[in-house]
């Protein structure tokens, strides 16, 4: 039998209309454009305002609709919808189930996947397994986060970094040897003391005091997270290259999580890649968490060619991190 691989056959992306610039942040917290740009590479980020839409589901639906339109796809043909997100609409009802219903994927089952900034990367692995099994033909994977809903805009260590957005990909079977080829995914639970959100879960349910203490916003130990991210993202990207006998000349594109330009540069340097092979949009969107990787694919879709070797790399809270090697299919 011909081996079935899982290939991306369509991409979509969506960012909100409102642009929050570094200059605007200068009026909100003690910071400045030069400081933010030098240390992160970010110039602006998008924020979902109530008058445009509400919740991560709104962003996910817009990205999914792009794929339906591009492929002229009947949503009833979709077998599974996975929404990778750190900011679900609510804690119990699945955001993915709502998204599937709203786009008309009436025959799909659906669930959320949470691994912080690695959510979409881990979702790629999950979606691929469903396709490779031969049981399902069309898996819609969406990365969507409304990070502004959990950001404290008086905390300059986090408010300068994050933005809102969504991206989506469609996985389908391939018999040409294209699609997901290899992965190396990791986790270290000790990392949650350095990056996370204390309030709102079963460990610290919401109370009047947790709200007063601002426990429902994310926090991070910037220096520790940066150190872990630089070493681990670079390590897994290099490992995936060595394991697949990929030289720097074999890699068409690095598709890195957009958390910090210095982390991206360090990963590219370890891989021996020229900056011209690195996909980057952090300057426009900041860190959109689960949406960074698919938004890169959406923004650079016209540059990707069939057979291109793509190396994905991500790092997130928890800690979670990993790398995926994928051959582009169209």
Matching residue, tokens 């291109």: 308
DSSP state of 193: G
Q: Greatest CA span in the chain, whole angstroms?
A: 63
The question of whether 257 is a catalytic residue gets the answer yes
The rounded distance, in Å, linking the Cα atoms of 50 and 149 is: 11
The rounded distance, in Å, linking the Cα atoms of 121 and 235 is: 16
The rounded distance, in Å, linking the Cα atoms of 107 and 127 is: 17
- Helix axes of 55-71 and 292-299: crossing angle, nearest 10 degrees: 30
The rounded distance, in Å, linking the Cα atoms of 247 and 24 is: 43
Tell me how far apart the terminal alpha carbons of the chain are, to the nearest angstrom.
23
Contact 282, 256 (CB under 8 A): no
Bridge-partner residues for 278, per DSSP?
A: 254
Q: Where are the alpha helices (DSSP H) in the chain?
A: 22-26, 33-40, 55-71, 95-103, 119-132, 156-159, 208-212, 222-243, 261-271, 282-285, 292-299
Bridge-partner residues for 164, per DSSP?
A: 146
Task: Out of 22, 117, 159, 232, pick the active-site residue.
Answer: 117
The rounded distance, in Å, linking the Cα atoms of 54 and 62 is: 12
Q: Rounded to 5 degrees, what are φ and ψ at 7?
A: -115, 145
Contact 194, 227 (CB under 8 A): no
The rounded distance, in Å, linking the Cα atoms of 162 and 16 is: 13
The question of whether 287 is a catalytic residue gets the answer yes
The question of whether 159 is a catalytic residue gets the answer no
Task: Out of 22, 232, 257, 281, pick the active-site residue.
Answer: 257
Residues designated catalytic: 117, 257, 287
């Amino acid at each position: 039998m011909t081996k079935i691989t899982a290939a991306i056959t369509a991409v979509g992306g969506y960012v909100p209309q409102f642009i929050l610039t570094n200059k605007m942040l200068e009026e909100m917290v003690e910071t400045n454009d030069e400081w933010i740009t030098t240390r992160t590479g970010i110039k602006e980020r998008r924020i979902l305002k109530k008058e445009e839409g509400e919740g991560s589901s709104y962003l996910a639906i817009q990205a999914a609709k792009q794929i339906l339109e591009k492929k002229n796809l009947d949503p009833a043909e979709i077998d599974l919808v996975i929404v990778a997100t750190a900011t679900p609409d609510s804690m119990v009802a699945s955001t993915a189930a709502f998204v599937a219903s709203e786009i008309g994927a009436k025959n799909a089952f659906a669930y959320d996947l949470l691994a912080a900034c690695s959510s979409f990367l881990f979702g790629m692995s999950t979606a691929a397994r469903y396709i490779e099994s031969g049981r399902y033909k069309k898996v819609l994977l969406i990365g969507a986060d409304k990070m502004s809903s959990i950001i404290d805009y008086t905390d300059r260590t986090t408010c300068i970094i994050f933005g809102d957005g969504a991206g989506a990909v469609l996985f389908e079977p391939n018999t040409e040897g294209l699609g997901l080829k290899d992965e190396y995914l990791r986790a270290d639970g000790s990392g949650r003391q350095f990056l996370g959100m204390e309030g709102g879960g079963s460990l610290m349910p919401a109370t009047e005091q947790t709200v007063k203490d601002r426990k429902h916003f994310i926090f991070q130990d910037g220096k520790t997270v940066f150190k872990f991210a630089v070493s681990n993202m670079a390590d897994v990207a290099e490992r995936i290259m060595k394991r697949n006998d990929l030289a720097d000349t074999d890699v068409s594109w690095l598709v890195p999580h957009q958390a910090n330009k210095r982390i991206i540069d360090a990963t590219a340097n370890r891989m021996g890649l020229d900056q011209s092979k690195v996909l980057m949009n952090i300057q426009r969107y900041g860190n959109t968490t689960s949406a960074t990787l698919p938004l890169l694919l959406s923004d650079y879709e016209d540059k990707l060619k069939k057979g291109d070797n793509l190396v994905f790399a991500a790092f997130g809270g928890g800690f979670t991190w990993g790398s995926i090697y994928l051959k582009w299919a169209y």
